[in-house]
Amino acid sequence: MENINQEIGNRLREIRDIFHEGVKLSADQFAFILDETGDRIRNYELGRAAISVRLLRKLHEKGINPTYVITGDGEIFAENKAGEKRRETIKQNYEKGKLESKNKIILAAAGMLDA
């Protein structure tokens, strides 16, 4: 079984891949938005470090469900205004043809599969 930090890191990378209106960000860009360092984000993504509560809280403020990050269960988007906005923006961009990804998060946001 995969290391829990690695599993969380994989989900964090998946989130980074759609974080900016469905478009992938670099680790440094993602870190800047979350008031982190690029090295710290890379360490989380590679499973070298346990994700901090501070980062989980920041992700929640930005519309990402911390339960999904930690366990992979539930919706990726938080049940708050930021999560609803993030989902709607990704859905609109997908419908406009701006996102041609097979990423399951984008498809879930567009209502094409369950999260």
pLDDT, tens digit, 9 for 90 and up, residues 44-101: 999 999 999 999 999 999 999 999 999 999 989 999 999 999 988 888 888 887 776 6
Query: Which of 38, 48, 53 is CA-nearest to residue 5?
Result: 48
Q: What is the pLDDT of residue 115?
A: 44
Q: What is the CATH number of domain 4-109?
A: 1.10.260
Tokens representing 37 are 């360092």
pLDDT at residue number 22: 80
What's the whole-number mean pLDDT along residues 6-20? 92
What is residue 54's predicted lDDT score, i.e. its pLDDT?
Answer: 97
- The mean pLDDT of 24-37, rounded to a whole number, is 95
105 — phi, psi (to 5°)? -70, -40
Q: Which pLDDT score is estimated for 102? A: 65
**What pLDDT shows up at residue 1?**
38
